[in-house]
C-alpha cells in the first residue's frame, strides 16, 4: 500500500537529530514525512546544530522556521524535558534518530536520558514502540558495537547509512533518498520503500 493513497496519521513520528555527520539525512527525513502528511515532532542536540552549520547551505534556524509553517510539524529544544515526547502518555508512531552519533547511541543504550532526544528514545523503548537509529561513524570501536548490540537485542533497529551499491545510485541525492526511505520503512509505515524502488526502476 502506498501512502499516496492518503493514509491519515494522527500520531506523530518523533525525529531526533544528533551530532553525527549526515545532517542531510535529518532534513530529508522530515521533508518526506511532512510531504506525506505525517505529523512530525523533532528535537536536536546542541552538537547537531554545529554539524548542520558545517554541512548544510540553509541554516538550521531557517529550516526549522520553514518546517514550522506546516501545521503537522512541531519542534522542541533539547533541554525541554517537559515537552510531550518526554512522556510515555503521548502516543507516537515511533522514533528515528538520524543521524545518530556514537555518543547518543551510548547514552540510549545506558538509559542516560540527559537531554530531550535521549529521553524520547528511552520513552520509545520503555513503551515498546519502534526506535530506529541511523548511526554514522567509521571505524566503529568495540564500545560502539557493544552499545549497538545491546540495543539491537531489545528490538531497536540499527540502520547505518550505507549506500546500496547494487542499486548503482549515481549521486548523493539518490543515496540519501534511499536511506531515508529505508529508515522510515523500518518504522513499519507502508509505502516508502515501494515508492523508492519504483523511482529506481524509472531511472534505469
Ligand atoms: C563536524 C562534526 C562532525 C561529527 N561527526 C560525527 C560522526 O559522524 N559520528 C559521531 O559519532 N560523532 C561525530 N561528531 C562528534 C559528536 O558531535 C560529539 O560526540 C557530540 O558530543 C555528540 O553529541 P550528541 O550525541 O548529543 O549530539 C562530529 C562532530 C562535529 C563537530
**Using one digit for the tens of pLDDT, what is the confidence trace for 41-98?**
999 999 999 999 999 999 999 999 999 999 999 999 999 999 999 999 999 999 999 9
Higher pLDDT, 190 or 168: 168
Backbone angles phi, psi at 91, to 5 degrees: -70, 145
Residue 192's pLDDT band (cuts 50, 70, 90): confident
* β-bridge mates for residue 43, sequence order: 16, 76
48 lines ligand 1 (CB under 6 A): yes
Please give the share of the chain, as a percent, with pLDDT higher than 70.
91
Q: How many residues make up the chain in this entry? A: 204
**What CATH number should be reported for the domain holding residue 155?**
3.40.50.1950
**Of the residues 16, 26, 101, which should be mutated to test ligand 1's pocket, given the most ligand atoms within 8 Å of the CB?**
101
pTM: 0.94
7 lines ligand 1 (CB under 6 A): no
Residue 137's pLDDT band (cuts 50, 70, 90): very high
Residue 8 confidence (pLDDT): 82
Mean pLDDT across 155-175: 96
Whole-angstrom Cα distance, residue 134 to residue 127? Answer: 20
**Dist. CA 23 → ligand 1 center (Å):** 11
116 lines ligand 1 (CB under 6 A): no
Residue 204 confidence (pLDDT): 41
For 74, the grid coordinates are: 512541531
Neighbours of 32 (CB within 10 A): 20
What residue has cell string 570501536?
Answer: 141
Neighbours of 190 (CB within 10 A): 13
Q: Enumerate helices (H) and strands (E) in the chain, giving the number of each.
A: 8, 6
Mean pLDDT across 12-24: 98
Q: Which atom from ligand 1 is nearest to the alpha carbon of 107?
A: 25
Mean pLDDT across 121-134: 98
Domain extent, residue 141, equals 3-202
Looking at the predicted structure, is the pLDDT value of residue 3 above 50? no
Looking at the predicted structure, is the pLDDT value of residue 200 above 70? no
Residue 59 confidence (pLDDT): 97
> How many domains does the chain contain in total?
1
Looking at the predicted structure, is the pLDDT value of residue 18 above 80? yes
Looking at the predicted structure, is the pLDDT value of residue 7 above 90? no
* Mean pLDDT lowest among 21-35, 67-81, 116-130, 177-191: 177-191
Mean pLDDT across 7-29: 95
Looking at the predicted structure, is the pLDDT value of residue 40 above 90? yes
Whole-angstrom Cα distance, residue 63 to residue 58? Answer: 7
Q: Which atom from ligand 1 is nearest to the alpha carbon of 101?
A: 11
| Residue whose CA is at the smallest distance from ligand 1 atom 22 | 19
Amino acid at each position: 500500500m502506498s501512502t499516496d493513497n492518503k493514509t491519515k496519521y494522527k500520531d506523530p513520528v518523533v525525529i531526533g537529530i544528533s551530532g553525527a555527520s549526515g545532517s542531510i539525512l535529518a532534513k530529508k527525513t522530515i521533508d518526506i514525512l511532512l510531504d506525506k502528511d505525517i505529523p512530525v515532532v523533532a528535537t536536536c542536540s546542541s552538537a547537531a546544530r554545529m554539524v548542520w552549520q558545517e554541512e548544510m547551505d540553509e541554516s538550521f534556524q531557517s529550516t526549522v522556521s520553514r518546517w514550522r509553517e506546516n501545521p503537522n510539524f512541531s519542534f522542541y529544544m533539547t533541554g525541554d524535558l517537559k515537552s510531550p515526547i518526554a512522556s510515555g502518555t503521548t502516543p507516537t508512531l515511533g522514533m528515528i534518530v538520524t543521524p545518530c552519533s556514537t555518543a547518543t547511541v551510548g547514552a540510549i543504550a545506558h538509559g542516560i536520558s540527559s537531554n530531550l532526544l535521549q529521553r524520547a528514545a528511552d520513552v520509545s523503548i520503555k513503551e515498546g514502540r519502534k526506535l530506529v537509529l541511523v548511526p554514522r561513524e567509521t571505524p566503529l570501536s568495540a564500545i560502539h558495537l557493544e552499545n549497538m548490540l545491546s540495543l539491537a537485542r531489545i528490538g531497536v533497529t540499527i540502520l547505518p547509512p550505507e549506500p546500496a551499491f547494487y542499486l548503482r545510485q549515481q549521486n548523493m541525492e539518490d543515496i540519501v533518498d534511499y536511506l531515508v526511505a529505508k529508515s522510515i520503512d523500518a518504522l513499519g509505515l507502508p509505502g516508502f520503500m515501494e515508492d523508492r524502488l519504483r523511482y529506481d526502476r524509472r531511472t534505469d
